[in-house]
Amino acid sequence: MKSIIWCNYFKLARATKFSNLKNFQVLIRYCLLITTVAFLSSCSINKQVSKNLDQSIKNSTLLRSGFTGFALYDPENKEMIYEYNADNYFIPASNTKLFTFYTGLKILGDSVPAFQYKIAGDSLIFTGTGDPSLLNEDLPKSGILNFLKQSKQELYYQPHEISSTHFGPGWAWDDYNDYYSAERSEFPIYGNVVSFINSDLENTPKSYPSFFQKTLMKTNDENSSKEIKRDLRNNQFLYTNSWEASKEKQVIPFKTSSLLFAQLLSDTLQKKVTVLNSKRNTEAFKNVKYSIPTDSIYKRMLLASDNFIAEQILMMASLKLTDTLAPEKAIAYMKENYLQDLPQMKWVDGSGLSRYNLFSPRTIVRLLEKIKNEVSQERLFSMLPSGGETGTLKNYFKHKPAYVFAKTGSLSNNQALSGYIKTKSGKVLIFSFMENNYLLPASEIRKQLEPMFENIYEKY
């Protein structure tokens, strides 16, 4: 409608060429008409969409079973279209990764720093940066292994004197055996997890990497789980006669240490790696070896909601800023320098595993606006899950073409979805939906959004 009116306006302008006062007055009245019609049209659509959203949320028994927050924003007109508890605070779960993504964009540059190193005589001494890519099956391969293997120097690994804790603040300790709780470390290898599949021997697990096969033990406890269980304190993996190979491999985090890292790397390189216990001289490690493009880790983190990569991004950012591996320092820096204009928030980790994180829908919308202003739409939408097509939204919002590009978030009794809706007319709106304290399946909560978003898509 607006495009047609403006087209007629320009035709009239070319025809009159402001030849006299009367024609000029006609143009002024036409401009006023355009503005009025556009304004009324926009207001009408906004009111209608707002009314529909309000009815959908308030009439939904499922959404009313918990605590709901929603914000829908038009970045072109700088206008909040709809708000429902938008200033209240919610546990965001993996929506926290959007803040981690923005941290990487601001601090890390185009390539992932794999390690810092120096050459002293016949020794190559290297130290970790937090890079999650080494032998990680979910990330592209790099030339790091070849660089170390082909080095004519003897290899020495120098750990940092002070590193972050393996778990983030507020993480559930009893999730330690689950794939999504891989430990944070200064130099990850194999994604800090071990995979188990069925071997040639019936009902006997086989580990990858094979290093952990020797720590796998069968127990006679018939009442234990059918899954493999790691000891809480060490890398002893136990299974019973009840163990059954699942269709997919079972992935379990291993307990990290500098010594274990050196052993795993030595085993892979077929070349000795020695751990140095001497004091680390930060000024000496001026050389940096890079591994893979940062977009490849952002894409994996956002599409698959990879907690481990999210945590390592904050560690890498912290090292670049402060020469220490402390995620809390990266968070503090971002809040002080790039997020100071956002509403108050509580942000404690990179992945969203912590229930200490608290954000409002309005805060997340503001962050998404910042990201949209700094990242091209094509690049951004390729990294986010898209409805019916990729990542954690593959089974939701099935529509051709895809119109929802958003980050999911899920913890027990907590659900979040924040991102962008590309409407039928091509307009891009920003939204943040958060639902806390419900007892129903998360999939049922997400399905409630589909007719609501479809209406937004059609109306705009």
**Amino acid at residue number 109:** G
In angstroms, the CA 261 to CA 14 distance is 73
Residue 334 lies in a domain: yes
Q: Residue 390 maps to which CATH number?
A: 3.40.710.10
Instruction: Give DSSP secondary structure letters for 35-48.
Output: HHHHHHHHHHHHHH
- Beta carbons within 8 Å of 232's beta carbon, 6+ residues apart: 176
* Residue 79 three-state SS: strand
Instruction: Give DSSP secondary structure letters for 44-78.
Output: HHHHHHHHHHHHHHHT-HHHHTSEEEEEEEETTTT
* Measured CA distances, 442 to 98, 148, 198, 416 (Å): 20, 45, 31, 10
At 118, which helix (H) or strand (E)? strand 111-120
Token output for 367? 């962050």
Are 131 and 254 part of one and the same domain? yes
Cα 456 off chain centre by: 25
In angstroms, the CA 315 to CA 184 distance is 8
Best CA proximity match to 351, nearest among 312, 310, 383: 310
pTM equals: 0.89
Task: Point out the domain boundary residue: 298, 317, 336.
Answer: 317
Are 205 and 301 part of one and the same domain? yes
Alpha helices, DSSP H, located in 108-169: 144-150
In angstroms, the CA 310 to CA 188 distance is 13
Q: Quick check: bond before 401 cis, omega within 30?
A: yes
Are 383 and 293 part of one and the same domain? no
Residue 404 lies in a domain: yes
Instruction: Say which DSSP state 302 is in.
Output: H
Task: Point out the domain boundary residue: 317, 339, 367.
Answer: 317
The boundaries of the domain holding residue 338 are 39-101+323-459
Residue 11 lies in a domain: no
In angstroms, the CA 130 to CA 152 distance is 25
pLDDT mean by block of 10 residues, the chain; 460 residues: 44 50 58 53 79 90 90 97 97 98 98 96 96 98 95 95 87 96 97 92 87 92 78 95 78 97 97 88 84 98 98 97 95 97 94 98 98 98 98 95 97 96 97 94 87 94
**Could you tell me if 365 and 430 are in contact, meaning their C-beta atoms sit under 8 angstroms apart?**
yes
pLDDT of residue 35: 53
**Could you tell me if 185 and 192 are in contact, meaning their C-beta atoms sit under 8 angstroms apart?**
yes
In angstroms, the CA 363 to CA 372 distance is 14
Are 338 and 449 part of one and the same domain? yes
Are 267 and 349 part of one and the same domain? no
Which residues, in sequence order, are bridge partners of residue 154?
A: 123
Residue with tokens 């009442």: 223
Are 313 and 329 part of one and the same domain? no
Best CA proximity match to 234, nearest among 205, 274, 281, 194: 194
Edge-first strand order for the sheet with 237-239 is 216-218, 237-239, 229-230
Neighbours of 304 (CB within 10 A): 14
Are 82 and 181 part of one and the same domain? no
Q: Is 365 exposed, middle or buried (0-12, 13-18, 19+ CB in 10 A)?
A: buried
What total of structural domains would you count in the chain? 2
Best CA proximity match to 301, nearest among 63, 152, 292: 292
In angstroms, the CA 335 to CA 103 distance is 10
Q: Is 263 exposed, middle or buried (0-12, 13-18, 19+ CB in 10 A)?
A: middle
In angstroms, the CA 248 to CA 179 distance is 12
In angstroms, the CA 319 to CA 327 distance is 9
Edge-first strand order for the sheet with 193-198 is 205-208, 193-198, 250-253
In angstroms, the CA 350 to CA 99 distance is 8
Are 313 and 339 part of one and the same domain? no
pLDDT of residue 187: 97
Task: Point out the domain boundary residue: 281, 301, 317.
Answer: 317
Token output for 157? 């690994």
* Residue 148 three-state SS: helix
Q: Quick check: bond before 441 cis, omega within 30?
A: no
